[in-house]
Copies of this chain bind each other. A is one copy, B any other.
Amino acid sequence: MKTLKELSDELKRNNIRLTHQRLKVLEYLSNSKTHPTVEEIYSALKKEVPSLSKTTIYNTLNYLSELNLIKALTIDENEAHFDADTHTHGHFKCSACGKIYDFDINIDSFDTEHLNNFEINEKIVYFKGICPRCLSNINIE
């Protein structure tokens, strides 16, 4: 998890203006552990910043993604989720409740000799299934 200060320092380093809106998005995302969507970020911040536009959320998130300061997850088919944690880690999506969990994984332990001549820039691992909470709910019913 990256702190807000680290994120804003990185923005300064890249000569990106630290606007009120961007700080709010960064703050929300770095305090969040649920990999929120644009819609979730928008409706949460709209209360504090009523003038906020959804386009600004998109702009900010796309910008930060390009700079590799955050990660966009495509584990959900129809909506992007965002992650302030850029350390390589796996994501588990529960098919029942939709929640996205983090898990540690040593991706570099992969044997990738087949890709010797490829330049690998990003390694993504998604697991899908049922989370413990939903498993126990099923058992109760």
Contact = CB atoms under 8 A, between A and B. Distances in A.
Interface in A71-124: 72, 74-75, 77, 80, 92, 95, 101, 103-106, 109-112, 114-115, 117-124
A109 B125 CA distance: 13
Interface residues of A, number: 35
A132 B104 contact: no
Main secondary structure of the interface of A (DSSP, over half): mixed
**How many copies of the shown chain assemble into the complex?**
2
A85 to B, nearest CB: 15
B122 A127 contact: yes
A120 B127 contact: yes
A126 B124 contact: yes
